[in-house]
Structure 1
Amino acid sequence: MNCEHIIQQAANWLTRLHDEDVSDAERQAFRAWCDADPRHAVAIERMRGLWGSLDTLPAKPARRALNRAFAPQHRRGAQAVGLLGVVLCAWLGLQHLPVWMADQRTGVGERRQIALDDGSQLQLNSNSAVDVKFDGHQRVIELLQGELWVDVAKDAQRPFVVRTDQGTATALGTRYLVKRAADGTTVVTVIESTVAVQGDSRDSVKVMAGQRSVLDHGHAQPAQASGNADADAWTRGLLKVNDQPLGDVLQTLASYRHGMLRFDPEALRNLRVSGVFKLDDTAAALAALADNLPIQVEYFTDLLVVVKPR
């Protein structure tokens, strides 16, 4: 069953459970539905969380529509169920449902290390999501969003593959990084040994330690030096940069912050950065940048920060 169908079923159940005349038999059927598949309970939990988070939003059209769907004076028929499902799908965006239902995910500013069943170690960067699909023939990690680091346990019978919408990165050794970049490309950086990177167009390149390859429009670009000897420093909570554009550094810090970090890349294009920053304290990192570069950092609220030339 795909996640869109699960979301619709969850919407149907929540709508019915809010009806005044819901029966004990229906409540029992709901509990059986939740027990039938772990994804069902996850969908209910996250949908309830979404409903709770909407309490803090202004009365925009989506909020008003949801209020109408749940309002006690309305009968919970097919019309209300359909309205709830449509509003939820429109509000979340169908393209975000796989991330919402992912096997493992992290929030903004969160990192998580995961021990996989085969002995491999996986770590998710900030705001990342994966599905884990292991069987008797292969081990597949689907990177739905963000970035991961993996240290692969050897298994001669089952290849270890990280997949995105651009292609695959198959381990021929141990440690590597895979990132879904903001521009839609997939970046594969090898820390140790070798990885076979293959685009959906079936072209393939081997990437050695200290190299990276970019998957773009389904094509694997030739391997080149990664330019960062400590590309996996984020797994230790650090951002290490050596003569990097300030805009790239700010973009990384923004991915660890709630709210918006705004800047004009063109206005800052001549500024470059070297240093080590703690990803768990982006305010300190921004302060250090302001102390050492001709920029100013303005906090309008905790959720809106603007960086501009001094």
Structure 2
Amino acid sequence: MNIYRTSPKQSRERAAREAAEWLQVMRDGPSAAERAAFATWVAASQLHLNELLMAQVVERELAVSGALQALDLDEVLARAASSDNVVALYDVPAPGAASAEEARAGARAPAARRPRRRLRWLAAAAVVVCAGLLGRQLLLAPPTQEYASAIGEERRIALDDGSVVLLAPASQVVVEFSAGARDIQLRRGEATFDVAHDTARPFRVHAGSNTVQAVGTRFTVNRLPSGTLVAVSEGRVKVMAAREGWLERLWEPEGEVVGAAGGPVESLGKPAALSAGEQARIPQGRQSLVRMPLEKPVETPQGARRLSFRNDTLADIVAEFNRYNQRQIVVGDERALQQRYSGVFNADDTESFLQFLECCSALRVVREDGRVRVAPASYGRQ
């Protein structure tokens, strides 16, 4: 009787291949049977989960960089195989050929989905290529520039391509321009983008798991506790939700997203277009948006800034006020943070808003040195 043992290396290679297959299966709208089989596969081994998470990270990073879009991967793999500077992580089969290991693993993933395993990111993960083979563009990220504004400070930033960024107070962006794209990460706060026209390089603003892309337009992106708000004043933008995070959501209840302003809920399963005069709220952690008409700005004396709220959560309202005022508002109760209010206030006049809460809500306001605490009145005074 022959006993065949699998080495740790072979186990990792097999788990990596299966993770690649399952990653695509779960992306493509799995059936109930596939979801159950996937859950069984993940639960069978810690190694399975590790390889799945690693595959997801690799896919996300390559998708963001866009470095592989213009490459012929068959040529890349052929060149890699003939190079002394390449270390194979596992045997890469010839096009159309299946390894013995794949044949044995055939039952572990749906056969109809198996041809999709030749994904761009999987081919990249199959080999480690030196800088001399693929060039510096694959291994070296383009230079970045970081800009931030202090509480109460607004900044105007002129970018190298002629675009202009207007940073709201207490906001931060990271700018990364390359030969093929203009990417900006909105780390926190709010920014308005006046985009210079350049069809060869898309202009993309990344806010958490959401991306807003435009060519020659003017729009605002605002990151709030409840989600992301996108407002278009000129031109058109395309709003996309990243496909990351699907693994964590597999066991979450679907739930219905209810628009705070009563607007219809639209899926972000595919990109959504917003035109001038429209805005959209993308709830935190959801692949959907609520489309609304863009409100006309309230006329104010020169230099003044108004904050307009319509059925917004206290969490969002507090976040907005705290960007403009050194005296910060602190709310420690989660239920209080989810209460909704409407009104128009001067951005630098938190006292009017606090008086409104004292008058027209069940919340208690405690003014302290340097900050203000807001809590349910039932908590009693401390």
Letter in 2 for 1:273: S
Where does 1:92-131 land on structure 2 (aligned, <5 Å)? 103-131=146-174
Report the AA paired with residue 262 of structure 1. V
Q: Aligned pair 1:141/2:208, yes or no?
A: no
Match of 1:58 in 2: none
Change (3 A) 1:168 1:271: closer
Q: Distance in 2 between matches of 1:241 and 1:165?
A: 23
Q: Which amino acid aligns with 1:188?
A: V
Q: Secondary structure at the match of 1:254?
A: helix
Gaps of 5+ in 2: 1-143, 244-268
Deviation at 1:172, TM superposition (A): 4.1
Larger Rg: 2
Matched with 1:175 is 218
By how many angstroms is 1:226 displaced?
Answer: 5.2
Residue 73 of structure 2 corresponds to none
Q: Deviations over 1:218-274 (max 9, x none)?
A: 73x24511574449x9x9622123565666434422343446423457469777432
Counterpart residue identity of residue 235, structure 2? S
Indicate yes or no: 2:363 matched with 1:302. no
Equivalent position amino acid for 2:368 in 1:
F
Conserved in 2, the CA contact under 8 Å of 1:199 and 1:215?
A: no
Q: Is structure 2 residue 283 aligned with structure 1 residue 240?
A: no
1:204 counterpart (262, 271, 275): 271
* Residue of structure 1 equivalent to 2:230: 188
What's the CA shift for 1:122?
0.8
Deviations 1:11-57 (A, max 9, x none): xxxxxxxxxxxxxxxxxxxxxxxxxxxxxxxxxxxxxxxxxxxxxxx
Q: Deviations over 1:59-116 (max 9, x none)?
A: xxxxxxxxxxxxxxxxxxxxxxxxxxxxxxxxxxxxxxxxxx9610112332222122
Separation in 2, partners of 1:166, 1:224: 18
C-alpha distance in structure 2 between counterparts of 1:118 and 1:207, whole Å:
23
- Aligned pair partner of 1:224 in 286, 291, 308: 291
Q: Which amino acid aligns with 1:116?
A: L
CA contact (8 A) 2:225 2:319 kept: no
2:284 & 2:188 partners in 1: Cα distance?
16
- Structure 1's 267 and 181: CA in aligned 2 closer, same or farther, altered over 3 A? closer
CA distance in 2, matches of 1:178, 1:216: 14
| Mapped pair 1:253 → 2:253 | no
- The percent identity for this pair of structures is 27
- SS class of match (2:180): coil
Amino acid at match of 1:253: F
2:342 equivalent in structure 1: 273
Q: TM-score, normalised by structure 1?
A: 0.53
Q: Secondary structure at the match of 1:103?
A: strand
Could you tell me how far 1:284 is from its partner in structure 2? Answer: 5.0
CA drift at 1:137: 2.7
Equivalent-residue separation in structure 2 for 1:215 and 1:141 (angstroms): 21
C-alpha contact (below 8 Å) 1:166/1:218 kept by paired residues? no
- Show structure 1 runs of 5+ residues with no match: 1-100
Q: Deviations over 1:189-228 (max 9, x none)?
A: 2232211112222731112232315275473x24511574
Once residues 197 and 257 of structure 1 are traced to their aligned partners in structure 2, the CA distance between those partners, rounded to angstroms, is 31
Q: Distance in 1 between matches of 2:368 and 2:349?
A: 18
Aligned length in residues: 204
Counterpart-to-counterpart distance in 2, 1:138 and 1:154: 12
Other-structure match for 1:164: 207
Q: Which amino acid aligns with 2:347?
A: L
